[in-house]
Every structure is written in C-alpha cells, then in structure tokens.
Chain A
C-alpha cells in the first residue's frame, strides 16, 4: 500500500530530522556552555583539557580580577554611552525619514529612495570616508563612532515598508480633515501604532553599536575613549596571538594562568547585556527580519 509506505518513509524522515536538529543544537550550544563553565573553573584543569561537562575546582578569581580591572569598566561605560547616543540618533533618523518616504503624497519620494538605495550597492569606500571624517574633526571623538553610520539604507526601507503596510490611509485623511499637522500625526498616531518597528530598530541599533569594533579601531586612538570591544580585542586576541608566538616556551607563569581564566570571564561579562535581554527580545528580532523580508 502506498499509504503505509508513505508513513514508513515519514517516520524515517522524522527520526532523521530530530537527530540532525538535536546534533545542531548541541554543536551550537556546547561552545557557549564551555565558556560558562571554564570561567569558574581552575585554569590548570581547563588548560589541560579536564573540564568537559561540569566546572571543576571552582574559583571566582577570574571575575574578581575583572571587576577590579579599571580598563574593562571604562570600556563598559564608554560602550554604554556610545550605544545609547548612537541608538537615539539612529532610530530617530530611521523613523522620521522612513515615515516621510512612506507617504505617497511626498513629491520626489522616488528620487529620494533611489538616492538612498544606491548607497547599498556602491560607495566611496574606506579611505575617502576616513579622510572626510578626519576633515570634519571627528577623529578621536565619540562622534566618529556615531555620525558616519548615523542611519542605514536597509533600516529605512524596513521602516518605510512597515509604515506603508500598517498605517491606513483613512486615518491620515481623517486627521488631516481635522487639521492635524504632520508632526502631530506622526507623534500622536503613527508612533503609538508602530511599537513593534520601534522596538526592532532600537534593538538592532543597540546590538550593532554594542558589538562594533572596527570604527573605533580606525578613529579612536585615545585609550580612555576605547569601547569595550577594543578592550576585548586587546585581552582576547592581541595578547593571545602573542602568547601563541611564544607557544614553545612551556614555562607557564601564574600571571598567564590568571590571564587565561580572565578571558573566559571577560567573554561572559561582555556578553551579559545580550544574554540577559536576548530571550525576552527574541520575538522582536525575528519580527524585524520578517518585515525586512517583504520586498519594499
């Protein structure tokens, strides 16, 4: 019988499917889990490969060092500041321009859209942008991290698509009939109806600013202005590659032992804001991608 053949094949598929996905689950989760257990385990046991499933020789020395390290906290503070200011600028520009461009009665909007969309496919590149930022006197200031990426073409398209599809024209007409100005309409009617898109924009922008390092690498020389990601780069990567250059020197000092422990802890501390917020915000993130996937 075709039907029994079918159900047998379907069962085979289900077994295959759940096996593959469970494997994927473990592969993705395990490295993250290892960081967590290694950050509180005896570094000697971690380094000799004895920590696999549970923390061993529990110690909080790594975290103690991290909490007493001033450069990490300075970086933390800087990153919070850049993230906050950057997100406010980014979201305000995205929403206002996205809304204006969503209005069918905006003369010239196709031209403006073209002007903005073209930058997604072609640009001046690294050096001309750098020279411009330098000429504007932004090098070594927080503004170099905020203004050159103040708003993104893709985000504007997402916001515009959202406004077009979720603000009914009848409301606008009724409001205009009552003499409501565009600003008032935007603030009182559009924004309250757009909580999901505002949330998405805030989240994308905040995550982007929190995780960015390259802008700071180019524009920031003053270590007191370093965002957390540059401090992390110093601790995790620059130092590590030096360590590996000296890989044949087997003499492990106590200092290196602690440095290794700190690396795991630092990853935890730096990802903390994301780890805490992520489960609550996940559905908004997904929503953002979904809105973006609708062709504008």
Chain B
C-alpha cells in the first residue's frame, strides 16, 4: 500500500535534496487539513476514553467528590479485597462465567451451522426470504425484545404457558425463576442475533474456490462430505477470529438485556459483574468500590484476549495481530 509514496520518494531523490525537502514541507502543509479532519476524533478518544482510564485510579482510592479524582486519598487494594471477600463475589463470578460459557457453547455455533445450510440452498428466492426474515430481529431494540419476553412468557396470559397447558403441563414462571433465567437469556439472544451473525460466515463462504467443490463432486463427494471437508476448513480462519473476539469479551455479557430481564426473583441467577457495578456504583454511589470491580473485569478480559490470541498464533490459526 506504500508503493506509490515509495515511488514518489524515489522521484524526489533524483531531483536533489533541496527540492526534496521543499516537497516534503509542501506535503505536510498540504496535509494539514487531514490533521484537522482527525483532530475532533482524536480529541474525543483522548477525552472520553483515555481520561476515564486515568480516572481508574479511584479504584485504589477513596473517592470523595469535593476532593476530585487526584485529591482523594489512596487506600491500596482495599476495594478489591472487599469485593473478593464479599458474599456476592462467588455468585456474580459464577453467573458471569456461566452465561458466557453457555453463549460460547450454544449461541456461537448456531450462525455457523445456519450459514453452512444457507450456503447450500439452490433456490435464491428461498435463500433471500430466509435471510430477510432472520436478519430482522437484530434491528429490534433490547427493550422490545425483553418486553416481548415478558408478554409471551407471562405465567397467566403468555403464549408459551398456554401452549404448555394445552400439552397438559404445569405453567412456568420463566422470568421469575432462577433456573430458567440463563436459558431464556441465551435462547432469546439466539433468536435475535443468529441470523444477522451468519452474514460474516456467508461472506467467507462465497470466497471458497468453486474448483474445490467441482473436483470433490468428480471424486463422488456428496454435500455432507463437501461441507465437512471443504466449507468448514475454508471458513475456519473467520471462525477463529470471531472466537478470539468473543473470548476477549468473556467477562462482558449482554448487560443491557440482563438488566432489563432482572428482577428480585431471578437475581440469584442474573446478577453479573456489570449489573452489580451499575447498582453499587451509580445507584448506590460507591464509586471507588464499583470502579475496582469494573477494573478487575477489564483486566481479566484483556488477559484472556492476549492469551487466546497467543494460543491461536501458536496453533498457526488466524490471529488478531
């Protein structure tokens, strides 16, 4: 990508250094507009991303509003210790890890399977219909999705419980039950996002060399065999990249949706790190304590990202860098 500027540079050295310098200065001057283009965005990132990183120090302090971030007294690891020793710690970590794990086990493979199946559909009309319909829920807000869950899963009036009763089963209060919470969360997540997530795999599948399939057909391979021996290996790099990204966010679960689905009845199963940070931090105004928890969360995510990326690199699979 630098071949053009390299060529320009060569031309410059031919015409002598003074001209070269003048041209370089000209280029800087000419490009000052590009820096102006970049300036507001850089300012945004410094102010709204790096200043809060500087603010992370309150995790090791006792934040007192009047003294400000720098003026508040240091307390070392007190907040971290308090969190690790709190009664909530075990439950929150367990819920966060389980939700992430279930997501990886159940939600992650669905779009891959769906894309492999869609890719084999010969009728382009049917394919388009399936795509249009399955992409649609992605554009519905979480508020509405959770609202629909409350309506459909209502123990008295909900569609699902009417169905269960028609089949002779007892109605279930899905959203008021700890044992059902994670299932409902993951399942509705698949409903909302699996279709949309196929796009990236479908794009990867279109770049599979058709010669491979033709040669395989000549050799008598059927569609099942071609999926397993051609399609899946071909999209493996894409799968790996997405896997790395989701492991890098392992401790970050869909907070916005969980918070909407949470109530006092299911809290034992739905309290995760971010909901706890929000409640103790913003609703309970324990700024330092909840910042410490948030920092703990980010650091673990970051370590996981580095670890899985290294593993993927070692295994000669695709990696982020």
A residues with CB within 8 A of B = 2-3, 5-7, 9-10, 13-14, 17-18, 20-21, 24-25, 27-29, 31-32, 34-35, 38, 46-49, 93, 96-97, 99-101, 103-107, 112, 115-116, 119, 121-132, 147-148, 150-151, 153, 156, 164, 169, 173, 176, 181-183, 186, 207, 210-214, 218, 229, 232-233, 235-237, 240-241, 244, 247, 260, 263-264, 267, 270-271, 274, 278-279, 282, 285-286, 289-290, 293, 295
- Contacts A24-B114, A24-B134, A126-B294; A105 near B173 (Cβ below 8 A): no
Residue of B nearest to A292 (CB): B200
Known: A128-B58, A247-B156. 13 other contacts (CB 8 A): A9-B224, A25-B133, A28-B195, A97-B42, A104-B5, A123-B52, A127-B55, A131-B58, A233-B260, A241-B150, A274-B139, A278-B136, A289-B196
Residues of B within 8 A of A147 (CB): 44, 48
Tell me how far the C-beta of A252 lies from the nearest C-beta in chain B, rounded to whole angstroms: 9
Q: Is the interface of A mostly helix, strand, loop or mixed?
A: helix
Q: How many residues of B contact A (CB 8 A)?
A: 105
Alpha-carbon separation in the docked complex, A99 to B27 (Å): 17
In chain B, positions 113-159 with a C-beta closer than 8 Å to chain A are: 114, 117-118, 120-122, 126, 129-130, 132-137, 139-144, 146-148, 150-152, 154-157, 159
Residues of B within 8 A of A107 (CB): 28, 31
Q: Is the interface of B mostly helix, strand, loop or mixed?
A: helix
Whether the Cβ atoms of A28 and B137 lie closer than 8 Å is: yes
B1 contacts the other chain (Cβ, under 8 Å)? yes
B201-225 vs A: 1/0 string, CB under 8 Å?
Answer: 0011000000000000100111110
In chain B, positions 6-40 with a C-beta closer than 8 Å to chain A are: 27-28, 30-31, 33-35, 37-38, 40
Whether the Cβ atoms of B30 and A176 lie closer than 8 Å is: yes
Residue in B152, B222, B301 whose CB lies within 8 Å of A13: B222
Whether the Cβ atoms of B129 and A25 lie closer than 8 Å is: yes
Residues of A within 8 A of B49 (CB): 119, 123-124
Residue in A29, A99, A112, A211 whose CB lies within 8 Å of B142: A211
B161-205 vs A: 1/0 string, CB under 8 Å?
Answer: 011011000000101100000000000000100011001100110
Whether the Cβ atoms of A17 and B294 lie closer than 8 Å is: no
Whether the Cβ atoms of A132 and B135 lie closer than 8 Å is: no
Alpha-carbon separation in the docked complex, A87 to B256 (Å): 21
Whether the Cβ atoms of B120 and A13 lie closer than 8 Å is: yes
Residues of B within 8 A of A164 (CB): 1
B295 contacts the other chain (Cβ, under 8 Å)? yes
Whether the Cβ atoms of A112 and B136 lie closer than 8 Å is: no
Whether the Cβ atoms of B256 and A182 lie closer than 8 Å is: no
Alpha-carbon separation in the docked complex, A229 to B192 (Å): 17
Whether the Cβ atoms of A32 and B42 lie closer than 8 Å is: no
Residues of B within 8 A of A271 (CB): 140-141, 144
Whether the Cβ atoms of A213 and B141 lie closer than 8 Å is: yes
Whether the Cβ atoms of B69 and A131 lie closer than 8 Å is: yes
Whether the Cβ atoms of A25 and B134 lie closer than 8 Å is: yes
Residue in A18, A218, A241 whose CB lies within 8 Å of B263: A241
B251-267 vs A: 1/0 string, CB under 8 Å?
Answer: 00001100110010000
Whether the Cβ atoms of B220 and A2 lie closer than 8 Å is: yes
Residues of A within 8 A of B40 (CB): 93, 96-97
List 9 interface pairs A-B (beta carbons < 8 Å), by A numbering. A31-B191, A97-B38, A105-B5, A119-B45, A126-B277, A132-B47, A210-B141, A218-B282, A236-B150
Tell me how far the C-beta of A288 lies from the nearest C-beta in chain B, rounded to whole angstroms: 9
